Amino acid sequence: MKSKKHIRLSLTYLLLTLLSIAWLFPIAWVVLTSFRGEGTAFVGYIIPKTFTLDNYAKLFNNEAFPFAKWFLNTFIVAAATCVVSTFITVVMAYSLSRIKFKFRNGFLKLALVLNMFPGFMSMIAIYYILKALNLTQTLFALVLVYSAGAALGFYIAKGFFDTVPYSLDESAMIDGATRKDIFFKITLPLSKPIIVYTALTAFIGPWMDFIFAKVILGDATEKYTVAIGLFSMLAQDRINVWFKSFAAGSVLIAIPITLLFMYMQKYYVEGITSGSVK
Amino acid sequence: MNNSKYYEKVSVLEALKKGSIDIKLSALFMGFANLANKQIIKGLLFLLSEILFLITFVLQVIPSIHGLITLGTQKAGEVVDPDTGITITVSGDNSFLFLLFGLAALIFCAVFAYIYWCNLKSARNLYVIKKEGLKAPSFKEDVATLSNSRFHMTMMAVPLLGVLVFTVLPLILTICLAFTNADKDHFPPGNLFSWVGFENFGNIITGRMAGSFFPILSWTLIWAVFATVTNFFFGILLALVINTKGLKFKKFWRTIFVITIAVPLFISLLIMRNLLHPDGPLNELLKNWGLIQQSLPFLTDPTWAKFSIIFVNMWVGIPYTMLVSTSIIMNLPQEQLEAAEIDGASKFQIFKSITFPQILLIMTPTLIQQFIGNINNFNVIYLLTGGGPVNPEFYQAGSTDLLVTWLYKLSFESSRDYKLASVIGILIFVLSATFSLIAYTRTNSYKEGAVK
């Protein structure tokens, strides 16, 4: 009996080890490639023969792909989007959760319907609207588009506000507080976790998106965000020269985002499960 | 103090019928009732908005609506001026801007209609106030309600404006394009497009596009089913394996898989694309080990590519399901499991009859959302294969293209077939809406979460 259990446990360890190798292999390969000194895009082995930091250095001292500039662009867009869209999301979620106004249910249904249209569908129209406003190829347009999307992404935050007891609002109202006071002095201080979650998600967004950014920024290489920049390094005619630097850039971007995600993990799981367990 | 319920016992129509002359006149001259009842600022604001609207209506709205109907008549090019007989170059009409401004004009009218309705309601409120002998609120008091009973209006005004300009307007615009002949040969500057009715829909369902549309649609559905089911099933299995009794370093094993979620999706997909490249490390390794002589066409053969995509998607998605189902498994009632074990149920029986159904129950809404998300899964396809390998039988699409990536290609690559892209967008919406509707009516949790 005991040995049977022992064998089963050993098999489990073996299985998990194999799976871990399968899952970590691509990541290990990219990290190793980013330090590889020799060869072009692909070589016939995994462990580099020479190690170097040149691929990282190349990102910061070349004219064609100004990685530092891209990093700064993305940071500006991400920070601005983070502030604006967190505010918008929280405000929408709070209004739709706490205040019972006439068109509330109608609006919730409309938002559901609007969210069902594929985002790429209206991209071409958004591009021409921005063009009519003379905003294409600007970072401001990116902030505008990312933040406008936040107004319909209120579901997780709304779920959170739904759990804040309404009796708090009522007792404050009896004491003569206005809705504004309740929002700023009672609800917001209680909502720190969801604000942190919303802000981090909004901050990460611009680092990941490259389709909208590419459509809006076109060929203005100076204005690129890191995602489009890295993507453009892999074009057919560039990949051999730039692949190792692409790997280096990926590592540089992945590290902060991985850390942020590890920190957010708890909120992420709660967001998914709390909506359904009731 | 919230008075709206109090006022609403009298309908606007009733107030207009029974009210004195100033109430009646405010249907014609906005703000008249307010002005006559000492709400000077409010009255003036209403009046001003009416005057502004009338001026804009004549100068802007009428031409815009006319433009919306014709979508432009003058092509760019050279015309002979009838008065002088000299040939001059004209820039021509821009159908797209005509469409945009026409729709903007309609939205502008709708906004004004709302202001007009507010004016009527305000007159009705004054009617009630006068009838009951109350004091009409001053402008200052009205403004104060914006931070109290009407606080939601203050807060939602700017976000809703954003939704209107960057979501609703573009969406209506794109839907309109589906009913025109807009493509690269019919697009400004230089050319005009015009209304064609349901021609494009007919073209896709029965016409010459049907040969591309239906195969792509069926691959989209097959992909969505496999991508969702494999991730869900193997994710739960992995969570259970890590949760095996007696296994050490549970947290360590979980962290290994969570690391892959944390890596930005576009980076991990681009890595995968190069990993599976004909000259990439996976092929090289297999060759070095002598398992294969020639590179395997992971992403370059239609059938291989489809399997590769589903496997890569498992690499991406299984950790997500593992993460979520772990927290569910840990919260499952232990008594039930122990009771089943005492009764002699096997591991498989426990999984089949207790663990799996419970996880399924909790995760159904997420599962349906994931399914809809997979129908629209742009990133995995675009970054891995770009829709390729090219399929000569399809119009502007490759063998692994989903409807969304096809839509993207039609809009932004050489074909610039906007009309077709819009029709596909609408059809994708119909598809997602159908599945959401099923989800919405079948699962209670989804319903509660959405509208409460």
Q: DSSP characters for A49-111?
A: SSB-SHHHHHHHS-SSS-HHHHHHHHHHHHHHHHHHHHHHHHHHHHHHHH---TTHHHHHHHH
Neighbours of B38 (CB within 10 A): 13
How does pLDDT run across A140-184, given as a tens digit for each residue? 999 998 888 888 888 778 888 888 888 888 888 888 888 888 888
Binary contact (A230, B270; C-beta < 8 A): yes
Nearest residue of chain B to residue A86 (CA atoms):
B159
Binary contact (B155, A114; C-beta < 8 A): no
Q: Which of B166, B262, B366 sits opposite A257 (nearest CB)?
A: B262
Domain residue limits at B113: 4-197
| Contacting residues of B for A243, CB less than 8 Å apart | 274
| Contacting residues of A for B347, CB less than 8 Å apart | none
Q: Which of B228-232, B269-273, B445-449 has the highest mean pLDDT?
A: B228-232
Q: What's phi and psi for B248, nearest 5 deg? A: -95, 165
Report the alpha-carbon angle B187-B188-B192, nearest 5. 65
Q: Are residues B132 and B274 in the same domain?
A: no
Binary contact (A16, B242; C-beta < 8 A): yes
Q: Are residues B289 and B185 in the same domain?
A: no
Q: Which of B181, B197, B213 is the last residue of a domain?
A: B197
Nearest residue of chain B to residue A232 (CA atoms):
B270
Measure B86 CA to nearest chain A CA, in Å.
32
Neighbours of B298 (CB within 10 A): 24
Confidence check: pLDDT of B451 > 50: no
Distance CA B423, CA B395 (A): 15
Mutation pick from B96, B101, B168, B263 vs chain A, by most beta carbons of A within 10 Å, is: B263
Of B379, B368, B406, give the one whose Cα is nearest residue B215. Answer: B406
- Cβ atoms of B375 and B402 within 8 Å: the answer is yes
- Partnered with residue B195 across adjacent β-strands are B180
Mutation pick from B238, B266, B446 vs chain A, by most beta carbons of A within 10 Å, is: B266
Choice between B427 and A239, residue whose per-residue pLDDT is larger: B427
Q: Which of A92, A121, A262 sits opposite B159 (nearest CB)?
A: A92
Q: Which of A105, A122, A179 sits opposite B148 (nearest CB)?
A: A179
Distance CA A46, CA A24 (A): 13
Lowest mean pLDDT across A252-261, B265-274, B325-334, B393-402: B325-334
| Contacting residues of A for B407, CB less than 8 Å apart | 118, 120-121
Distance CA B107, CA B54 (A): 15
Joined together, the tokens standing for residue A35 give 């330090």
Binary contact (A178, B324; C-beta < 8 A): no
DSSP states of A130-148 as a string? HHHTT-TT-HHHHHHHHHH
Q: Are residues B42 and B164 in the same domain?
A: yes
Question: What is the reported pLDDT for B354?
Answer: 83
CB neighbour list of residue B435: distance below 8 Å, 6 or more residues apart = B368, B371, B372, B375
DSSP states of B43-60 as a string? HHHHHHHHHHHHHHIIII
- Cβ atoms of B398 and B387 within 8 Å: the answer is yes
Number of independent structural domains in chain B: 2
Distances (CA, A) of A158 to A15, A151, A225, A258: 41, 12, 31, 26
| pTM for the structure as a whole | 0.83
Joined together, the tokens standing for residue B188 give 């400004």
Q: Are residues B141 and B209 in the same domain?
A: no
Mutation pick from B99, B101, B118, B156 vs chain A, by most beta carbons of A within 10 Å, is: B156
**Rg, C-alpha atoms of chain A:** 24
How does pLDDT run across B5-27, given as a tens digit for each residue? 667 777 888 888 888 888 888 88
Q: Are residues B175 and B287 in the same domain?
A: no
- Cβ atoms of A59 and A248 within 8 Å: the answer is yes
E strand or H helix at B89: strand B87-90
**Hey, which residues 24-43 in chain A have their CB within 8 Å of chain B?**
24, 26-27, 29-30, 41-43
Q: Are residues B276 and B184 in the same domain?
A: no
CATH number belonging to the domain at A65-233, selected among 1.10.10.10, 3.50.50.60, 1.10.3720.10, 3.60.130.10: 1.10.3720.10
Distance CA B164, CA B114 (A): 15
Q: Which of B174, B324, B327 sits opposite A124 (nearest CB)?
A: B174
User: What average pLDDT does range B402-413 have in this prediction?
Assistant: 88
Distance CA B270, CA B279 (A): 15
Measure B332 CA to nearest chain A CA, in Å.
12
Lowest mean pLDDT across A175-189, A260-274, B353-367, B376-390: A260-274
Q: Which of A16, A123, A254 sits opposite B411 (nearest CB)?
A: A123
How does pLDDT run across B30-69, given as a tens digit for each residue? 888 888 888 888 888 989 999 999 998 888 888 888 888 8
Measure A148 CA to nearest chain B CA, in Å.
5
Q: Are residues B247 and B166 in the same domain?
A: no
Binary contact (A120, B408; C-beta < 8 A): yes
Q: Which of B159, B179, B197 is the last residue of a domain?
A: B197
Question: What is the reported pLDDT for A274?
Answer: 53
Q: What is the ipTM of this complex?
A: 0.83
Distance CA B299, CA B278 (A): 8
Nearest residue of chain A to residue B278 (CA atoms):
A42
Q: Which of A112, A148, A162 sits opposite B162 (nearest CB)?
A: A148
Q: Are residues B371 and B419 in the same domain?
A: yes
Q: Are residues B207 and B72 in the same domain?
A: no
Tokens 């490249």, residue located = B277
User: What average pLDDT does range A38-43 have in this prediction?
Assistant: 76
Q: Are residues B298 and B269 in the same domain?
A: yes
How does pLDDT run across B318-369, given as a tens digit for each residue? 998 888 888 888 777 778 888 888 888 887 888 888 888 888 877 777 788 8
Share of chain A above pLDDT 90, in %: 13
Domain with residue B210: its CATH number is: 1.10.3720.10
Confidence check: pLDDT of A276 > 50: no
Nearest residue of chain A to residue B313 (CA atoms):
A23
Binary contact (A254, B263; C-beta < 8 A): yes
Q: Which of A12, A99, A126 sits opposite B151 (nearest CB)?
A: A99
Distance CA B17, CA A278 (A): 50
User: What average pLDDT does range B196-225 have in this prediction?
Assistant: 89
| Contacting residues of A for B247, CB less than 8 Å apart | 9, 12-13
3-state helix, strand, coil in chain A (%, to 5): 75, 0, 25
Measure A61 CA to nearest chain B CA, in Å.
22
Q: Are residues B228 and B162 in the same domain?
A: no
Compute the mean pLDDT over every residue in chain B, rounded to the nearest whole number: 84
Confidence check: pLDDT of B296 > 60: yes
Compute the mean pLDDT over every residue in chain A, rounded to the nearest whole number: 84
Q: Are residues B244 and B359 in the same domain?
A: yes
Q: Where would I find the H helices in B390-417?
A: 403-412
